[in-house]
């Protein structure tokens, strides 16, 4: 009886185990394709296009469809990691890269994983910087990118993707020299990413010409559009406007008698902006408000509006004001009033016409489109352009 009972238990366990295996096998059964283009390869191709368009959820759906057809397709996991990273889920992104490596069967698939590591590590650093986390001293991400890059070129020295994304990594690390070298390598290989690498190389060259001397300047150089706070930081840290004003602004002395009581009551205190408490560039903004630059004042509501975007006309007005104060040449303020505009998109009766003429006549700013001659006064000011303009001011004033 005892043996028969044990035998029943063993048979029951075998049946139960077989049922579990059967269910598991059914659960992992590959989905059958529904059309000629319903293939893992096509879904990954589509997913990567969506990644380039920053449509990360749509891309994730495509990679999931690829894995339904083949759950051992390494490139689908590599693509899924980029989709997760694009949604700032970096833990999941690195998990997907591990799966991509485990399922990689060819050198091409391994190459995709190495490039994936470069991209995800760079994106994680960018996200860390954007949310204001103190991650300035963390260089481990860059070392990981460099290691992945070396592994990638060992597999395929002619890969254009590896140097392109390594160039973006160096640019994120504010190492513009190494970034430029990587983008130049892409242009030498002349396969994928040629137009993107050319645009990045031109940007890096412009930043290097501007020669930002501070970490703040190097960061602002990457912005597509600077804000009022960014302008304050550039004037204070890159132009060193406080030192410039002390050295160059003509000093005047009033030696007439002043009644002490009246003098004290006449003193005014510069009001503080209400909306900059806790702002990372507060010190620079306070400095600019103390000095006074036209266009960077507090509004009637008592706000500085640090996040407000600047356009080219507003930046020209600020540069004109700085030039007038530094040179003491008040004639600049009206020098071009009544002149004919050389720009097809700039009327001579506009309030910023004189300022635009002052800065363009001195070569500090120039037409945005050299083919049409348009100045584009309402266009945003990219960080690299803002820095290059400051470099030109320094060169004209022979101040550094």
* DSSP-assigned letters across all residues of 288-305: HHHH--TT-S--TTS---
**Considering only CA atoms, which of 94, 150, 154 is closest in space to residue 119?**
94
Sign of the CA dihedral running 70, 71, 75, 81: positive
Give yes or no for residue 293 having a pLDDT over 90.
yes
Write the pLDDT tens digit of every residue in 102-145: 999 999 999 999 999 999 999 999 877 554 444 556 789 999 99
Token output for 47: 């997913």
Predicted confidence at residue 396, as pLDDT, reads 87
**Considering only CA atoms, which of 328, 323, 316 is closest in space to residue 352?**
316
Query: Residues, the chain, total?
Result: 400
Task: Provide the CA 63 distance to its chain's centre, in angstroms.
Answer: 27
Predicted confidence at residue 151, as pLDDT, reads 98
Give yes or no for residue 18 having a pLDDT over 90.
no
**Considering only CA atoms, which of 331, 329, 295, 345 is closest in space to residue 315?**
295
Give yes or no for residue 210 having a pLDDT over 70.
yes
Q: Are 312 and 283 a contacting pair, CB within 8 Å?
A: no
The label of the residue with tokens 């890059």 reads 149
Q: Are 362 and 206 a contacting pair, CB within 8 Å?
A: no
Token output for 64: 């999931």
Q: DSSP per residue over 55-112, as a string? A: -HHHHHHHHHHHHHH-TT-HHHHHHHHHHHHHTT-HHHHHHHHHHHHHH--SHHHHHH
DSSP H or E stretch at residue 357: helix 353-361
Predicted confidence at residue 17, as pLDDT, reads 52
**Which range (26-35, 48-57, 64-73, 111-120) has the least confidence?**
26-35
CATH topology of domain 40-130+138-216: 1.25.40
* 381 vs 319: CA distance, rounded Å: 13
> Please, what is the average pLDDT of the chain?
89
Q: Residue 156: which pLDDT band, with cuts at 50, 70 and 90?
A: very high
Which residues are CB-neighbours of 338 under 8 A, at least 6 positions away? Answer: 348
Q: Residue 249: which pLDDT band, with cuts at 50, 70 and 90?
A: low
**Radius of gyration for the alpha carbons in the chain, expressed in angstroms and rounded:** 30
* 44 vs 367: CA distance, rounded Å: 43
Predicted confidence at residue 272, as pLDDT, reads 81
Q: Are 318 and 293 a contacting pair, CB within 8 Å?
A: yes
Which residues of the chain are in CATH 1.25.40.10 domains?
40-130+138-216
Mean pLDDT, residues 354-358: 98
* 67 vs 7: CA distance, rounded Å: 42
Residue 320 burial (C-beta neighbours within 10 Å; 0-12, 13-18, 19+): buried
Residue 253 burial (C-beta neighbours within 10 Å; 0-12, 13-18, 19+): exposed
* 188 vs 392: CA distance, rounded Å: 32
* 161 vs 108: CA distance, rounded Å: 12
Q: DSSP per residue over 119-187, as a string? A: HHHHHHHHHHHHTT-S-TT--HHHHHHHHHHHHHHHH-TT-SHHHHHHHHHHHHTT-HHHHHHHHHHHH
Predicted confidence at residue 301, as pLDDT, reads 95
Q: Are 82 and 116 a contacting pair, CB within 8 Å?
A: yes
Q: Are 50 and 59 a contacting pair, CB within 8 Å?
A: yes
Predicted confidence at residue 126, as pLDDT, reads 83
The pTM is what? 0.81
**Which range (27-31, 128-132, 217-221, 248-252) has the least confidence?**
128-132
Token output for 46: 């589509």
Q: Residue 41: which pLDDT band, with cuts at 50, 70 and 90?
A: very high
Predicted confidence at residue 11, as pLDDT, reads 55
């Amino acid at each position: 009886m005892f043996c028969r009972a044990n035998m029943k238990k063993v048979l029951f366990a075998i049946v139960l185990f077989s049922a579990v295996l059967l269910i598991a096998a059914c659960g992992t059964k590959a989905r059958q394709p529904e059309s000629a283009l319903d293939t893992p390869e096509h879904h990954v191709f589509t997913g990567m296009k969506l990644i380039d368009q920053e449509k990360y959820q749509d891309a994730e759906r495509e990679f999931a469809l690829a894995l339904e057809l083949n759950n051992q397709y390494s490139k689908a996991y590599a693509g899924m990691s980029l989709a997760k990273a694009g949604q700032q889920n970096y833990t999941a992104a690195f998990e997907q890269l591990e799966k991509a490596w485990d399922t990689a069967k060819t050198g091409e698939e391994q190459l995709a994983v190495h490039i994936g590591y470069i991209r995800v590590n760079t994106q994680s650093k960018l996200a860390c910087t954007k949310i204001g986390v103190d991650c300035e001293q963390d260089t481990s991400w860059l070392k990981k990118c460099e290691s992945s890059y070396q592994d990638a070129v060992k597999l395929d020295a002619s890969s254009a993707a590896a140097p392109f994304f390594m160039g973006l990594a160096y640019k994120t690390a504010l190492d513009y020299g190494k970034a430029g070298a990587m983008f130049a390598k892409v242009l030498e290989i002349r396969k994928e990413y040629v137009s993107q690498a050319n645009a990045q190389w031109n940007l890096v060259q412009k930043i290097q010409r501007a020669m930002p001397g501070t970490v703040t300047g190097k960061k602002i150089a990457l912005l597509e559009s600077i804000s009022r706070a960014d302008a304050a930081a550039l004037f204070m840290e890159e132009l060193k406007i406080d030192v410039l004003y002390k050295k160059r602004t003509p000093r005047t002395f009033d030696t007439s008698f002043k009644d002490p009581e009246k003098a004290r009551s006449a003193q005014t205190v510069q009001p503080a902006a209400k909306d900059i408490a806790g702002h990372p560039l507060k010190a620079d903004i306070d400095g600019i408000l103390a000095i006074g630059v036209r266009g960077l004042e507090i509004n009637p509501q008592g706000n500085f509006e640090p996040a407000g975007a600047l356009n080219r006309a507003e930046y020209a007005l600020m540069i004109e004001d700085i030039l007038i104060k530094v040179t003491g040449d008040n004639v600049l303020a009206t020098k071009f009033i009544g002149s004919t505009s050389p720009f097809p998109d700039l009327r001579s009766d506009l309030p910023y016409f004189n300022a635009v003429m002052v800065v363009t006549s001195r070569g500090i700013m120039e037409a945005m489109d050299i083919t049409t001659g348009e100045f584009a006064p309402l266009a945003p000011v990219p960080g690299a352009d803002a820095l290059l303009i400051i470099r030109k001011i320094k060169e004209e004033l022979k101040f550094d």
